[in-house]
Amino acid sequence: MLTIIGIKNCSTIKKTLTWLDENDQEYDFRDVKKDPLEEGEILDLVQKVGLDTLVNKRGMKWRTLGLKDKNLSDEELLDVVHEHQTMIKRPVVVAGEAAMVGFDEEALESFVEHNVG
């Protein structure tokens, strides 16, 4: 089963969930605003996809926190992401030990095909 991580009102999340529904894929949705990820869960995602892939450095939260000109260590960045989980790129799609970030219909189709039993 897939787990989709994101924010309910995000247009990219809506596209992802629509695609999954249209393709009869079962999933659990986790809204990080209502059910934030634990630090260990974030670290697990970082191991699966990498910190640069996981963090949205072009988003509003990145800009409003003034992080553009700061040279944060990975540890400092993880602390910021844990506190401000809306900085996580959306969607994060997890299937067991595999994960992908972002919505691309072909990539999602391939991911589901290779990772969902």
Residue type, 78: L
Task: Indicate if the pLDDT at residue 69 is higher than 90.
Answer: no
- Domains of the chain, each with CATH number or no CATH: 2-115 (3.40.30.10)
Nearest to 46 by CA among 84, 11, 77: 77
In this prediction, residue 25 has a pLDDT band, given cuts at 50, 70 and 90, of very high
CB 6 within 8 A of CB 32: yes
Span 93-105, pLDDT tens digits: 999 999 999 999 9
Residues with active-site annotation? 10
Cis geometry, peptide bond prior to residue 91 (ω within 30 degrees of 0): yes
105 CB-near residues (< 8 Å, 6+ apart): 19
Span 31-62, pLDDT tens digits: 999 999 999 999 999 999 999 999 999 988 99
CB 86 within 8 A of CB 7: yes
